[in-house]
Structure 1
Amino acid sequence: MDYLPVFLDLKSKNILIIGAGDIALNKIKILLSCKAIINIISQDVSLEIQDLIKNKKIFWISKEFKISFLENMFLVIAATNNTKLNKKIFEICNKNRILVNVVDDKSRCSFIFPSIINRSPIIVAISSAGKAPVLLRLLRKKIESMLPIKFGNIAKIAGKWREIVKNNFSNILERKNFWEKLFNSIFIQYVINGQEKKAISILKNMIKRPNTLIGEVILVGAGPGNSDLLTLRAVQVMQDADVVLYDNLISKDILNFIRRDAKCIYVGKKAGIKSITQKKIIKLLIFLAKEGKKVVRLKGGDPFIFGRGGEELEALKNANINVQVVPGITAGIGISAYSGIPLTHRDYAQGVIFITGHKCFNNVLNNWSVLSDSSYTLVIYMASLKASEISKQLILNGRLQSTPVAIISQGTTIKQKVTIGRLDEIDKIFKLTISPSLLIIGDVVSLHKKLTWFKDSTLF
């Protein structure tokens, strides 16, 4: 290890900064957040630093550096363009055992500033010892994305209740188990969502009944197929899950994001093939949650767009199960974007309608006059089984036979295939495509040739 990572208490401690440019300003902002007393030495002072001086947040003590200014200083930062002065400051500080940092000169630093992720009171500091700053920036972004802004509030609440928990659990192992159980429960999500009253209610219940099992179900949208389109929240939840119930359209790449020791249960349904019923899926979700498990219900696209998420959420609520919903990019939006087909365009379509073809004719009355309005783009999920009927009804109700259509199979993946044709050719086109597929009908489809960017298309 080139450096020992330590956290310094700088409250009310004197810090000396020589220089008052942009680099110095960045250091000042960090040090102010630590409630340090900041003293500036510089010939010239930037406008932002002038404002801080006027508001007495920092102190401008001189234009020229003198050795006497080092008295009572806890640490020193040299941020000047004068290499001779920087060298002199470093040597004097080193001799007097004062922590010193010469900006952008690693050889003249007795300490360095790490890259900081601030979720106070939780602070994450990372460093490459000055060897790979760009790599460090990328790593910082990844860690920041994993820690929600309100993550620090979890530690604040835990701090307030620490003594109470200690009084209720005299055994160290019991206390450890309590905190582990709490931090693996929905308590965390309530805090992150700003629902602190609900979070504290969970905490209180766990103190009263520490052996009570607190499970939850999280409905997660996995997006249209490409694992790159998973939301950050979806990945976080999948890596925390004890059990994952996943659908037919979930790829192996997406399943790889699930933590290794989680149990994965396939509950996919495919048209025309016998499979597990929706009632059984709901019963299984409730059973697993009541066992105290964190259960993820992983669905293709978005749970609330033809994903039966509403039914599952309603049943879980009725069973008093803790629930969350993580939206996903629905197939209609994701696949159309990867096909270069804008669903709305001021010159072609004033709106878009999403429908499912699976139950288009099973005792469900569609308003065909609305669906046949050429000013709307029509996006149809699961259209293959009823393709000819859909085409027939739309033409009967006013859509032109020549209306452009696109059938996209395995959208957003490397196997994506876009077939372009006419409304009166839908049935024939579907015979040449494979599932899963999405049907887009409307004048915006004519933009595909010009706007395509992901994969080439096939003209029927």
Structure 2
Amino acid sequence: MSEPNDQMSVFPAFFRVEGKGVAVVGNGEEALAKVRLLLNTRADIVLIAEAPVASLMALIIQKDVKHVARPFRGDMLEGMTLVFAATGDAAEDRAIVDAARERRIPANAVDQPEHCDFYTPAIVNRAPVAVAIGTEGAGPVLAQIIRAQIDQTLSPSLGSLARLAIQYRDAAERLVPRGVTRRVFWRRFFSGAVADAVNNGYEADADREAVKLLNSMDKVDGHVWLVGAGPGSEDLLTLRAQRAMMEADAIVYDALVPEEVVAMGRRDAERIPVGKRKGCHSKSQGEINDLLVELGQAGKRVVRLKSGDPLVYGRAAEEMQALRNAAISYEIVPGITSAFAAAADFELPLTLRGVASSLIFTTGHDLTGDVLPDWASLAISGATIAVYMGKTVAASVAERLMQAGLAPETTVAVIENASRRDKRMLHGVLRELPGLEARGDLGGPVMVIIGDAVAGANFSHSEPLAAFKPALAETTGA
């Protein structure tokens, strides 16, 4: 099976066709469909058809479409901006495409993707807003399904709101400072009182709200979202997190957050990596606090993107305190913590009636002292333990728990890169866990789950811990 490739073979673009010639060549239903599609635009449509079917003839008469009632010749395409070959005959359509290409005119051969310079998308029309969905010719039906889903989510009044925005564009450029302030203005324009008035059909109210908004944009305060990016899979990012990322002027992110998640932010947002992972260049927590304050005081809208949930081993308390001290507004956007993602991958019940009624989150680092922490005694009584950053503390966790009385045969589940496509799942028993620290093949974040409830997991996609054979160290003669 070939490697997945998320690069497109086409570049999505919109052609300017207002007042320009677009030719449709064909007599039948294929040509009728293309003419109907083009009637959504202000193009000068030219139908080249010697004997149009009745439905096509009726449409072009009704819509006053220019009709060339002669057999096709290549010179009929002179001056056209686009050409649609829609005769229903594959060979004839290819000849029309060749004629267009000789004149350097982009052409589309209906139902022949390999002979198209461009593809016809499924369109959601809220003029002047248009959403085009393409599948590179692979699945027109799929494009139509997606179109229906998008159509349901967009307000019917979106076009009216966009037209109103055009009327206020010059005023906004004169009165609203460029950069953050102007972006906030338009965000409020499209999602606040102006949009509500347009949606309700109150045009006069919409104008009043737009003027009020213009007069209130002399200064914009900064704001920070502390966002949980989840365990790493893009589709486990919450809707609220994604909305915040689309509003952010700057995204400050940790090394454990995958680039695919960071890329879901606004395209022109400043992206600032701050490390926070072994082996990566990183800023100290104090430097991160200062950076968030600096960005907030500059009026920026900032997403502080953390792996998992910001309130679970994310040091959010220090960042919140710094923002409070600087009087910068902030909010928490929860994320799915890695323990939940790991359990989902293993189909593992973290709590189980009659077996485990308690759940413990820990990093395991508090097992290195002389005093056994309270949670260790809970583990012995049946609680499920989720150990974050589990690879580096696997030996101390296993040894101390066994010393405290937890059975060496207690089931353990280990996962690297929980929820992601490149995840790796392992299983075994507590006495096998110390060998985890020596495994050089596990470079991503590792979660370890220990407890009687773990025995109920699905290990069909998991490797036994005991199956790992470390490579023998090379030896040299003295």
- Provide the TM-score with structure 1 as the length reference: 0.58
**Residue 349 (structure 2) aligned to one of 336, 342, 353:** 342
Alpha-carbon distance between aligned partners in 1 of 2:192 and 2:320, rounded to the nearest angstrom: 17
**Residue 278 (structure 1) aligned to one of 270, 285, 307:** 285
Q: What is the correspondence of 1:28-67 to structure 2 with a 5 Å cutoff? A: none
Residue 319 of structure 1: aligned partner: 326
**Residue 439 (structure 2) aligned to one of 432, 442, 447:** 432
Residue 274 of structure 2: aligned partner: 267
Q: Which amino acid counterpart does residue 147 of structure 2 have in structure 1?
A: L
**Residue 251 (structure 1) aligned to one of 258, 276, 290:** 258
Give the number of aligned pairs. 345
Pairwise CA distance, 1:185: 6.2
Q: Secondary structure at the match of 1:406?
A: strand
Alpha-carbon distance between aligned partners in 2 of 1:233 and 1:243, rounded to the nearest angstrom: 17
Pairwise CA distance, 1:323: 2.0
**8 A Cα contact 2:231 2:338, kept in partner:** yes
Q: Secondary structure at the match of 2:385?
A: strand
**Residue 219 (structure 1) aligned to one of 200, 218, 226:** 226
Change in 2 beyond 3 A, CA 1:254/1:143: farther
CA deviation digits over 1:39-94, x for unaligned, max 9? xxxxxxxxxxxxxxxxxxxxxxxxxxxxxxxxxxxxxxxxxxxxxxxxxxx9xx99
Q: Which amino acid counterpart does residue 355 of structure 1 have in structure 2?
A: T
**8 A Cα contact 2:223 2:302, kept in partner:** yes
CA deviation digits over 1:121-172, x for unaligned, max 9? x9999999xx956523313435766x7x9x99xx7xxx9xx9xxx9xx9956
Change in 2 beyond 3 A, CA 1:298/1:117: farther
Residue 315 of structure 2: aligned partner: 308
Residue 97 of structure 2: aligned partner: none
Structure 1: segments with no counterpart, 5+ residues? 7-89, 98-113, 195-202
Residue 173 of structure 1: aligned partner: 173
Q: Secondary structure at the match of 1:324?
A: strand
**Residue 136 (structure 1) aligned to one of 133, 139, 144:** 144
**8 A Cα contact 2:222 2:299, kept in partner:** yes
Alpha-carbon distance between aligned partners in 1 of 2:344 and 2:261, rounded to the nearest angstrom: 20
Instruction: Give runs of ≥4 in structure 1 deviating > 6 Å.
Output: 114-118, 122-128, 185-191, 203-209
Change in 2 beyond 3 A, CA 1:207/1:452: same
Residue 442 of structure 1: aligned partner: 451
Q: Which amino acid counterpart does residue 444 of structure 1 have in structure 2?
A: A
**Residue 330 (structure 1) aligned to one of 337, 357, 360:** 337
Alpha-carbon distance between aligned partners in 2 of 1:371 and 1:190, rounded to the nearest angstrom: 51
CA deviation digits over 1:214-257, x for unaligned, max 9? 22212222221222322333334334332211111122322332
**8 A Cα contact 1:243 1:265, kept in partner:** yes
Pairwise CA distance, 1:187: 9.2
Q: Secondary structure at the match of 2:393?
A: helix
**8 A Cα contact 2:189 2:213, kept in partner:** no
Q: Which amino acid counterpart does residue 333 of structure 1 have in structure 2?
A: F
Pairwise CA distance, 1:441: 0.1
Alpha-carbon distance between aligned partners in 2 of 1:188 and 1:353, rounded to the nearest angstrom: 44
Q: Which amino acid counterpart does residue 298 of structure 2 have in structure 1?
A: E
**8 A Cα contact 2:426 2:463, kept in partner:** no
Alpha-carbon distance between aligned partners in 2 of 1:173 and 1:273, rounded to the nearest angstrom: 42
Residue 109 of structure 1: aligned partner: none
Percent of matched pairs sharing the same residue? 30
Alpha-carbon distance between aligned partners in 2 of 1:330 and 1:171, rounded to the nearest angstrom: 45
Structure 2: segments with no counterpart, 5+ residues? 1-21, 23-34, 42-54, 63-121, 197-209, 468-478
Q: Which moved more, 1:400-409 or 1:175-184?
A: 175-184
Residue 32 of structure 2: aligned partner: none
Alpha-carbon distance between aligned partners in 1 of 2:404 and 2:39, rounded to the nearest angstrom: 75
Q: Secondary structure at the match of 1:440?
A: strand
Pairwise CA distance, 1:271: 4.6
